[in-house]
């Protein structure tokens, strides 16, 4: 084993998928020590951040447990099972390799799991009344997951409007926050009048210690500062317009807020370079002429500075910004009941423990 220096071995191992990586622990004591080292875990997570993936929740029978399709730009397509949760669940949020899932048969039960390592944590039930009664299923309007790999901690946020039975919502916005360090929930109440589409709810972005949602009107971004438990409004670029054929989406791009505006012929990509001053820069303008027939039903899901994943009704495409080449990564062969973008989430492989 003295042929290669330890650092070279670490760089090789840091580029393996999680499952084969864990198997290398049995090769020898040296590799077991290297793979279990905090320095290597940090290195692995940094390398994986450069390789975005898309997780798609596949629809099965109501009685079957959830399974996922992982679309990886480097390694292709693979299946990921959540059977280790021993429950029928729905993915509610994704962040830095962790998923937040809610139980389908048992309302109010939430899990945070790492689908690659199969580690999971069953969150303690919150003693507060349900976050919202606005929807028939009683689930929160917003569900957010904030995974901070540098601090080895995560937060789960459930937020929604309370409505007294038989009355309209009164604007009381209840927010419950779970902290993995304390293993407890906390609550704060504010008054808001924000609305969100299904896509807005799915595309929650965690950057700069805050969770971000694009509002349904696409007039601003609603951010929750997790350090101070404060809601904040963030302006969009002045040049961004919504409606009349334009659609706007919020993503994470290498740790920065990114806004993608799609029209009939163009895709404009904005990145917030200065978070405190809310300064946006347009970093790319992409012609959609070669995928013109797909444009009305295409939705961006994940991105880095080099590529963007987009989902249609039955396909997942990746656009490489340097070569300006489009590539189909995944396609549903049968008739899917819901479009792929309806249950697609940005993802990356990490060794972050959820328990």
Do 222 and 178 lie in a common domain?
Answer: yes
Distances (CA, A) of 65 to 82, 84, 101, 168, 345: 7, 10, 12, 35, 18
Do 322 and 226 lie in a common domain?
Answer: yes
Do 9 and 100 lie in a common domain?
Answer: no
Do 272 and 200 lie in a common domain?
Answer: yes
Do 17 and 47 lie in a common domain?
Answer: no
CB-based contacts of 172: which residues, under 8 Å, 6+ apart? 161, 162, 189, 191
CB-based contacts of 282: which residues, under 8 Å, 6+ apart? 237, 239, 268, 269, 270
What's the pLDDT at 337? 65
CB-based contacts of 125: which residues, under 8 Å, 6+ apart? 108, 109
- pTM for the structure as a whole: 0.88
Do 17 and 153 lie in a common domain?
Answer: no
What's the pLDDT at 84? 93
Residue span of the structural domain in which 190 resides: 37-347
Q: Which residues pair with 213 in a beta bridge?
A: 222
What's the pLDDT at 191? 85
Q: Are 212 and 223 in contact (CB under 8 A)?
A: yes
Q: Which tokens is 345 given?
A: 């989430």
Beta strand residue intervals within 73-122, DSSP E: 76-81, 89-95, 98-103, 110-114, 119-122
SS3 of residue 277 by DSSP:
coil
Do 19 and 126 lie in a common domain?
Answer: no
Q: Which residues pair with 307 in a beta bridge?
A: 320
> What CATH number is associated with residue 14?
1.20.1280
Residue 95 lies in a domain: yes
Do 214 and 186 lie in a common domain?
Answer: yes
The angle, 0 to 180 degrees and rounded to 10, between the axes of the packed helices 38-48 and 6-13 is 40
SS3 of residue 122 by DSSP:
strand
SS3 of residue 213 by DSSP:
strand
Do 46 and 5 lie in a common domain?
Answer: no
What's the pLDDT at 128? 62
Residue 355 lies in a domain: no
Residue 354 lies in a domain: no
Residue written as token pair 């990886």? 72
**Which of 43, 61, 56, 50 minimizes the C-alpha distance to 7?**
43
Do 157 and 216 lie in a common domain?
Answer: yes
Residue 121 lies in a domain: yes
Residue written as token pair 């009349």? 244
Q: How far apart are CA 315 and CA 310, in angstroms?
A: 8
**Cα–Cα–Cα angle for 307, 40, 183, rounded to 5 degrees:** 90
What's the pLDDT at 136? 37
**Which of 129, 82, 138, 133 minimizes the C-alpha distance to 107?**
138
What's the pLDDT at 135? 42
Dihedrals phi, psi of 336, to nearest 5 degrees? -75, 140
Residue 300 lies in a domain: yes
**Cα–Cα–Cα angle for 156, 158, 163, rounded to 5 degrees:** 170
Do 100 and 238 lie in a common domain?
Answer: yes
Question: Could you give the number of structural domains in the chain?
Answer: 2
Residue 160 lies in a domain: yes
Written as tens digits, the pLDDT of the chain (355 aa) is 457 777 787 888 888 877 777 777 777 777 777 777 788 888 888 888 888 899 998 765 555 566 799 998 888 898 989 999 999 999 999 999 999 999 999 888 999 999 988 899 999 987 665 555 544 345 678 999 999 988 889 999 999 887 666 666 677 888 999 999 999 999 999 888 888 887 788 889 999 999 999 998 888 999 999 999 999 999 999 888 776 668 999 999 999 999 999 999 999 999 999 999 999 999 999 999 999 899 988 999 999 888 999 999 889 999 999 999 999 999 987 765 678 888 899 998 888 765 5
Dihedrals phi, psi of 251, to nearest 5 degrees? -140, 175
Do 101 and 233 lie in a common domain?
Answer: yes
Query: What DSSP state is assigned to residue 13?
Result: H
> What CATH number is associated with residue 226?
2.120.10.80
Residue 2 lies in a domain: yes
Residue 353 lies in a domain: no
């Amino acid at each position: 084993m003295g042929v290669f220096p330890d650092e070279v071995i670490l760089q090789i191992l840091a580029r393996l998928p999680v499952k084969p990586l864990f198997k290398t622990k049995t090769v020898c004591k040296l590799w077991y020590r290297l793979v279990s080292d905090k320095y290597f875990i940090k290195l692995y997570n940094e390398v994986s951040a450069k390789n975005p993936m898309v997780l798609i929740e596949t629809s099965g029978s109501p009685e079957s447990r959830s399974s996922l399709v992982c679309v990886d730009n480097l390694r292709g397509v693979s299946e990921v099972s959540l059977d280790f949760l021993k429950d029928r669940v729905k993915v509610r949020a994704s962040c830095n390799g962790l998923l937040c899932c809610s139980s389908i048969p048992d309302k109010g039960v939430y899990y945070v799991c790492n689908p690659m390592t199969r580690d999971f944590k069953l969150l303690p039930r919150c003693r507060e009344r349900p976050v919202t009664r606005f929807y028939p299923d009683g689930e929160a309007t917003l569900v957010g997951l904030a995974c901070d790999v540098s601090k080895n901690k995560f937060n789960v946020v459930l937020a929604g409007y309370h409505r007294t039975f038989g009355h309209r919502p009164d604007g009381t916005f209840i927010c419950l926050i779970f902290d993995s360090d304390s293993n407890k929930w906390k609550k704060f109440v504010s008054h808001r009048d924000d609305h969100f589409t299904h896509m807005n709810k799915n595309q929650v972005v965690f950057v700069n210690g805050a969770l971000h949602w694009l509002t349904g009107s696409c007039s601003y971004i609603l951010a929750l500062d997790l350090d101070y438990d404060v809601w904040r409004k963030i302006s969009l670029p002045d040049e961004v317009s919504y409606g009349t054929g334009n659609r706007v989406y919020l993503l994470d791009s290498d740790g920065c807020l990114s806004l993608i505006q799609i029209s009939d012929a163009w895709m404009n990509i904005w990145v917030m370079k200065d978070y405190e001053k809310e300064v946006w820069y347009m970093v790319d303008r992409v012609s959609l002429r070669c995928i013109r027939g797909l444009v009305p039903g295409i939705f961006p899901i994940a991105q880095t500075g080099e590529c963007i994943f987009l989902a249609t009704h039955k396909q997942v495409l990746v656009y490489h910004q340097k070569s300006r080449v489009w590539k189909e990564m995944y396609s549903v062969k049968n008739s899917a009941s819901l479009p792929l973008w309806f249950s697609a989430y940005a993802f990356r492989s990490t060794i972050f423990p959820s328990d």
